[in-house]
Amino acid sequence: MSECLVDIPADAINPVEPYLRSERIPHIWCPGCGIGTTVNCFARALDESKLDLNKVAIVSGIGCTGRVAGYAALDSFHTTHGRAIPFATGLKLANPELQVVVYSGDGDLFAIGGNHFIHAARRNMDLKVICVNNLTYAMTGGQTGPATPDHVISTTSPYGVFEPAFNLVQLAEAAGAAYVARWTTFHVKQLARSMEEVMKKRGFCFIEIISPCPTLYQRRNKMGDGLDTMKFYKQVSKIRNGAPTSECGLTKSGEIVVGKFVDRDRPGYFEMLNAQMTETLGDRYVIPEASSCGDC
Amino acid sequence: MHADPRGVLTGVHFLDGDHACCEGTLAAGARFAAGYPITPSTEVVERFAWRIPTVGGVFIQMEDELAASITMQGAVWGGAKAFTVTSGPGFSLMMEHIGYAAVTETPCVFVNVQRGGPSTGLPTLPAQADMMQAKWGSHGDYGIIALCPNSPQECFDLTITGFNLAEEFRVPVMLMLDECVGHMTEKVVIPEPDQIEITPRRYTKKTPEEFRLFEPREDKVPDMVKAGDGYHFHVTGLTHDERGYPSMTVDTQDKMVNRLQDKLKPFTNGRAIFEAADLEDAEVVVVSYGITSRVAQRAIEMARAKGIKVGKFRLITAWPFPEQHIRDIAAKVKALVVPELNLGQMVREVERSAGGAAKVIGVPHAGGTVHNPEVILKAIEEAVR
Ligand SMILES: Cc1ncc(C[n+]2csc(CCOP(=O)(O)OP(=O)(O)O)c2C)c(N)n1
Ligand code: SF4
Ligand SMILES: [Mg+2]
């Protein structure tokens, strides 16, 4: 028999409920999975940001994290594996008034979609990219990905990973991101704040969230369950805002540097486009407006 | 609805097929293109990049064709009419996103200027060997429309038709040019904007509460929405129900996949676009498309001069295949002759539709140039023998 530890009033509402498609709950994620925690932070960030939710769109690729789009009560797109960023690019360019969030996994964004990530960052496309980095390809059963640290055991590295992993925050900075931060699912307050911050920041923004996949990653590597992972994150993470991203690489059980590393102003894609066209075409340039081909 | 005058370059021009196609996109109302350079298609986007800043819209050169073919679809859901352009290897890279467009019922246009393959093949030389790929290239069952222009004028006209059909049926439309048609320069007449019919996107009139993203109208096609209008809709490439939510059931799959094909059934008969001549007394009919139809025309004239009763049937909608038309013709003639710049692709469809009622003679060619009309003539002569 279960017993409630706190009295929840009958008319209580969950503050994040308006941001989720409650008719689609229960979700598919495992107990102890970190993805739900990040979604909770995202909902809180939306709440705090006071954005017009009709003008926020979310785009995901494929994977456990790729399912986030389907649970958000926004215009939402579950695209193909690796292609959330180019889809989001088209959405943003056709409808510049949208705030476009890309929410996807480490494999999706940095293996099959890695090329799109660096090019969108280079263009400073106005996208808010949120990566749930569970250090593995979870949806397909826990294979090695481009962010899997050395010595980790996965189904495709049964004797241990030996390929060097990407340092995602360093990659994002080098490619041109205007904003780069990393948190773990232990840092819910900071994460929600970062998410809220990027909603107000123009340009290509990147938040990496180190997140447990107890079912496939932690279990296989004898790192415990979801709760053990929280304790581990608490123990090994160090908040170092402004830390050089080159010093933020991850190892299997070493320090996790978290914080906001980059927050800079670069001209955005539209700014550069408009400036160049105005310079060369003058009055003949027609600034692209939000399309509406039903009544054009 | 008529064309937006801002995109229409009314007048008599001397253009190649690629440039005419670009003018077609602008006249059709396309205000977004995503591409990646590849011969012999690049001129389409080069011209678009040159024209669009003064029309009002966006061209973006993406990092590859995987990106281009999905960036286009993001733009469509953002409210734009959009297209992408490629050839051979690039078309191969786009396959996954043809399936995505089909299953999400995203109205959009893929321009493929066919070159010799396989692989890098013959970058600067013609072929028509992507015809089956256009139909079957993505995994699973779905439907698309494919149009085959045979002149720069048709590159203009059919591009507009393609955009209109994409909106009417909510499907990806393939414009299957070939290198010859893409690079040949001829007179192209661009009419006044009010002479150009445009199919606007059919946005739902329902409220967000009533609206279901994939609830079909009577014509089996659902209404559209776009991001930003408060519908909070969900689009997925997973098998989905009428709300757009993933549903992994046999029933949902059966209903969804069948509808994707059924909505295009009218093209097997009444809505098929084709050009036919001299069918009344024909003993042999030449079935061809694209550049090959122009070479076949020569062969047909030579055969007629020799007193052979030969007719022509030119496929303009190659997909869905105009089965009923071919079946009707086959019932009346001795043989069908099918020249094409591949080792036998559409000929199989002709054979299937003819169902044994007439002999079907393919005239294959590996590509790199067009047929010698004599070869087609020989096949016609053989057919009446
Ligand atoms: C083109 C393609 N290749 C492979 C897959 C199979 N696949 C689905 S999800 C996935 C990996 C996802 O990993 P990640 O992005 O890290 O997401 P996670 O499940 O870990 O959240 C793969 C390889 C696919 N759906 N499409
Ligand atoms: S497999 Fe891993 S990432 Fe996927 S839902 Fe389960 S715990 Fe989460
Ligand atoms: Mg992952």
Tokens found for residue B88 = 């051979």
Total count of domains within chain A = 1
Tokens found for residue A10 = 């009958």
The answer to whether position A292 is within a domain reads no
pLDDT in tens, B319-367: 999 999 999 999 999 999 999 999 999 999 999 999 999 999 999 999 9
Q: Give, as one character, the DSSP assignment of residue A154.
A: B
Q: For a pLDDT cut of 90, what percent of chain B falls above it?
A: 100
Average pLDDT value for residue range B266-278 = 97
Residue B18 in contact with residue B182, Cβ under 8 Å? yes
The answer to whether position A294 is within a domain reads no
Average pLDDT value for residue range B256-262 = 98
pLDDT in tens, B100-117: 999 999 999 999 999 999
CA of A169: how far to CAs of A54, A188, A205, in Å?
A: 30, 19, 11
pLDDT in tens, B3-25: 999 999 999 999 999 999 999 99
Residue type, A228: D
Residue type, A64: C
Average pLDDT value for residue range B159-166 = 98
Nearest to B329 by CA among B294, B345, B353, B309: B353
Atom 6 of ligand 2, nearest CA residue: A30
Q: Compute, in angstroms, the gap from residue A225 CA to the centroid of ligand 2.
A: 12
The answer to whether position A257 is within a domain reads yes
Q: Compute, in angstroms, the gap from residue B286 CA to the centroid of ligand 3.
A: 55
CA of B108: how far to CAs of A11, B80, B102, B131, in Å?
A: 47, 10, 10, 18
Residue B171 in contact with residue B145, Cβ under 8 Å? yes
Strands (E), chain B: 11-16, 32-35, 58-61, 82-86, 108-116, 122-126, 145-147, 172-178, 185-190, 234-236, 274-277, 284-288, 310-315, 317-319, 335-339, 359-363
Q: Compute, in angstroms, the gap from residue B154 CA to the centroid of ligand 3.
A: 48
Prior bond of A31 cis (ω within 30°): no
Q: Give, as one character, the DSSP assignment of residue B40.
A: T
Residues 2-31 of A with CB under 8 A from B: 21, 24
So what's the pLDDT on residue A6?
Answer: 78
Tokens found for residue B42 = 């690049």
The answer to whether position A279 is within a domain reads no
The residue of chain B nearest to residue A89, with distances taken between CA atoms, is B71
The residue of chain B nearest to residue A24, with distances taken between CA atoms, is B245
A115 neighbourhood in chain B, CB within 8 Å:
63-64, 67
The answer to whether position A167 is within a domain reads yes
Q: Under an 8 A CB cutoff, do B78 and A95 touch? A: yes
Ligand at shortest distance from the CA of A31: 2
The answer to whether position A242 is within a domain reads yes
So what's the pLDDT on residue A293?
Answer: 54
Strands (E), chain A: 56-60, 75-78, 99-105, 127-133, 179-184, 205-210, 237-239, 256-263
- A93–B contact, CB cutoff 8 A: yes
Q: Compute, in angstroms, the gap from residue A139 CA to the centroid of ligand 1.
A: 6
Say yes or no: CB of residue A172 within 6 Å of ligand 2.
no
So what's the pLDDT on residue A13?
Answer: 84
> CA of A13, closest CA in chain B: separation in Å?
21
The answer to whether position A165 is within a domain reads yes
The answer to whether position A280 is within a domain reads no
Strands B274-277 vs B310-315: parallel, antiparallel or unpaired: antiparallel
Residue B261, φ and ψ in degrees, nearest 5: -90, -40
CA of B92: how far to CAs of A112, B59, B76, B89, in Å?
A: 17, 22, 22, 5
Q: Compute, in angstroms, the gap from residue A230 CA to the centroid of ligand 3.
A: 17
Q: Compute, in angstroms, the gap from residue A131 CA to the centroid of ligand 3.
A: 9
A271 neighbourhood in chain B, CB within 8 Å:
none
So what's the pLDDT on residue B290?
Answer: 98
Q: Which single residue is written with the structure tokens 């085959």?
A: B148
If you count residue pairs, one on A and one on B, with CB atoms under 8 Å apart, how many are there? Answer: 176
Q: Which residue segment(s) compose the domain that A158 sits in?
A: 32-269
Domains of chain B in sequence order? 11-195 (3.40.50.970), 274-383 (3.40.50.920)
Domain with A175 in it: what CATH number?
Answer: 3.40.50.970
Is the pTM higher than 0.90? The answer reads: yes
Distance CA A231, CA B36 (A): 48
Q: Which atom of ligand 2 is nearest to the CA of A212?
A: 7
CB atoms within 10 A of CB B369: 17
DSSP B136-158: H-SSSS---EEE---SHHHHHHH
> CA of A149, closest CA in chain B: separation in Å?
28
- Sequence-separated (6 or more) residues with CB below 8 Å from residue A258: A182, A183, A184, A187, A190, A210, A237, A238, A239, A240
So what's the pLDDT on residue A11?
Answer: 87
Q: Under an 8 A CB cutoff, do A115 and B64 touch? A: yes
Atom 2 of ligand 2, nearest CA residue: A213
The yes-or-no verdict on residue B234 having pLDDT over 90 is yes
> CA of B328, closest CA in chain A: separation in Å?
39
Terminal CA-CA length for chain B: 51
- Sequence-separated (6 or more) residues with CB below 8 Å from residue B269: B322, B323, B324, B325
DSSP A240-266: -TT--GGG----SSS-EEEEEEEE---
Residue A217 in contact with residue A199, Cβ under 8 Å? no
The yes-or-no verdict on residue B270 having pLDDT over 70 is yes
The yes-or-no verdict on residue B377 having pLDDT over 50 is yes
Distance CA B290, CA B295 (A): 10
Question: Among B63, B74, B234, whose Cβ lies nearest the Cβ of A87?
Answer: B74
Distance CA B42, CA B86 (A): 7
Q: Under an 8 A CB cutoff, do B73 and A115 touch? A: no
Per the prediction, chain B carries an average pLDDT of 98
A217-221 long-range CB contacts below 8 Å, 24 or more apart? A217/A134, A217/A135, A217/A136, A217/A138, A217/A142, A217/A152, A217/A154, A220/A142, A220/A153, A220/A154, A220/A155, A221/A152, A221/A153, A221/A252
A73 neighbourhood in chain B, CB within 8 Å:
232
CB atoms within 10 A of CB B225: 22
Q: Under an 8 A CB cutoff, do B53 and A286 touch? A: yes
Nearest to B290 by CA among B114, B74, B120: B114
So what's the pLDDT on residue B214?
Answer: 98
Q: What is the pLDDT along chain A (296 residues), one digit of tens a residue?
A: 445 577 888 888 888 999 999 999 999 999 999 999 999 999 999 999 999 999 999 999 999 999 999 999 999 999 999 999 999 999 999 999 999 999 999 999 999 999 999 999 999 999 999 999 999 999 999 999 999 999 999 999 999 999 999 999 999 999 999 999 999 999 999 999 999 999 999 999 999 999 999 999 999 999 999 999 999 999 999 999 999 999 999 999 999 999 999 999 999 999 999 999 999 999 999 999 865 555 44
Average pLDDT value for residue range B156-164 = 98
Distance CA B75, CA B108 (A): 10
- Which of A64, A148, A230 best tests ligand 2's pocket when mutated (most atoms within 8 Å of CB)? A64
Question: Among A77, A89, A273, whose Cβ lies nearest the Cβ of B71?
Answer: A89
Q: Which residues surround ligand 3, an ion (CB under 5 A)?
A: A 105-107, 134, 138
So what's the pLDDT on residue A99?
Answer: 98
